[in-house]
Amino acid sequence: MKIGLVGHTVIDTVVGADGGESRRLGGSPLYARRALEAAGAEHVVVTRGADPGGAVVIPGGPAYESRLDHRDGTRQVLAQFGLPFSAGDVQAYVLPAVAGCEWLHLGSQGGSDFPPETIAALAAAGHRLCLDGQGPARGAEPGPVRLRPFPPESIAGVAILKLNQREAVAAAGGRLDADALLGLGAPEVCVTMGGEGVVTVTAAGLMRVAGTGAGTYADPTGAGDSFAAAYVLARAQGAEPAEAAARAEAATDSLYL
Q: Please, are residues 39 and 227 in contact by the beta-carbon 8 Å criterion?
A: no
Please write the tens of the pLDDT for every residue from 70-103.
898 889 999 999 999 999 999 999 999 999 999 9
Q: Which domain holds residue 212?
A: 2-256
Predicted confidence at residue 48, as pLDDT, reads: 96
Q: Please, are residues 118 and 87 in contact by the beta-carbon 8 Å criterion?
A: yes
Predicted confidence at residue 16, as pLDDT, reads: 87
Mean pLDDT across the chain: 96
The type of residue at 155 is I
Please write the tens of the pLDDT for every residue from 142-185.
999 999 999 999 999 999 999 999 999 999 999 999 999 999 99
Q: Please, are residues 48 and 82 in contact by the beta-carbon 8 Å criterion?
A: yes
Which of 138, 130, 131 shows the shortest CA–CA distance to 111?
138
- Three-class SS state of 195: helix
208 — pLDDT class (breaks 50, 70, 90): very high
User: What DSSP string runs through 108-152?
Assistant: -SSTTSS-HHHHHHHHHTT-EEEEETHHHHH-S--EE-------G
| Whether residue 17 has pLDDT greater than 90 | no
Please write the tens of the pLDDT for every residue from 122-139.
999 999 999 999 999 999
Which of 55, 52, 59, 51 shows the shortest CA–CA distance to 85?
59
Q: Please, are residues 132 and 157 in contact by the beta-carbon 8 Å criterion?
A: no
Predicted confidence at residue 190, as pLDDT, reads: 98
CA distances from 9 to 59, 92, 147, 202 (A): 12, 19, 21, 31
Query: What's the rounded Cα separation, in Å, for the pair 11 and 180?
Result: 34
Predicted confidence at residue 187, as pLDDT, reads: 98
| C-alpha Rg value of the chain to the nearest Å | 17
Number of H helices, E strands in the chain: 9, 14
Mean pLDDT of 39-66: 95
Q: What is the CATH number of the domain that holds 197?
A: 3.40.1190.20
Query: What's the rounded Cα separation, in Å, for the pair 72 and 176?
Result: 25
Residues 6+ apart with CB under 8 A from 225: 28, 29, 30, 31, 32, 35, 107, 132
> What proportion of the chain, given as a percentage, has pLDDT over 70?
100
| Whether residue 228 has pLDDT greater than 90 | yes
The two beta strands, 42-48 and 21-26, are unpaired
The type of residue at 94 is V
Count: domains in the chain: 1
Predicted confidence at residue 246, as pLDDT, reads: 98
